[in-house]
Amino acid sequence: MWAAAPAGTAGGLSMLLPILLFIPLLYLLMIRPQQKRQKQWQQMLANIKTGDRVTTAGGIRGTILSIKDDAIVIRVAPDNLKLEVAKNAIAAVTTNDSVSGS
């Protein structure tokens, strides 16, 4: 006459456990490294100065002539063409100190 406890509670917990373990793993493998790269990129943009050689996200390489709030003016070789690009389009910076060998 006594009703037995539902047998599905232990099974539900065992199915939920992999999902609960997946969330911290997802954070450690995907979200945290992306946040670190984003922070490094923002630091790189904060430290750019005139004379630095840059590469844009589109692959254009040039030397910084001037820096505005949200844009920079770069000189592109070989015709010394001046381009104004968005600051967020800078993918990489090579300072003159690290290029001294080339």
| Residue 50, token pair as written in the block | 């005139």
Of 48-52, 83-87, 97-101, minimum mean pLDDT range? 97-101
| Residue 11, token pair as written in the block | 């099974």
* Long-range contact set of residues 92-95: C-beta below 8 Å, sequence gap at least 24: 92/44, 92/54, 92/55, 93/44, 93/47, 93/48, 93/52, 93/53, 93/54, 94/52, 94/53, 94/54, 94/55, 95/51, 95/52, 95/53
Q: What confidence category does residue 77 fall into, taking pLDDT thresholds of 50, 70 and 90? A: very high
Quick: pLDDT tens for 20-67.
888 888 888 999 999 999 999 999 999 999 999 999 999 999 999 999
SS3 43: helix
* Residue 71 to residue 66: CA distance in whole angstroms: 9
Is 54 within 8 Å of 75 (Cβ atoms)? Answer: no
Give mean pLDDT, residues 56-81.
Answer: 94
Nearest to 52 by CA among 41, 43, 69, 65: 65
The CATH classification of domain 49-99, taken from the options 2.30.30.60, 3.90.1150.10, 2.70.170.10, 1.10.3210.10: 2.30.30.60
Q: What confidence category does residue 95 fall into, taking pLDDT thresholds of 50, 70 and 90? A: confident
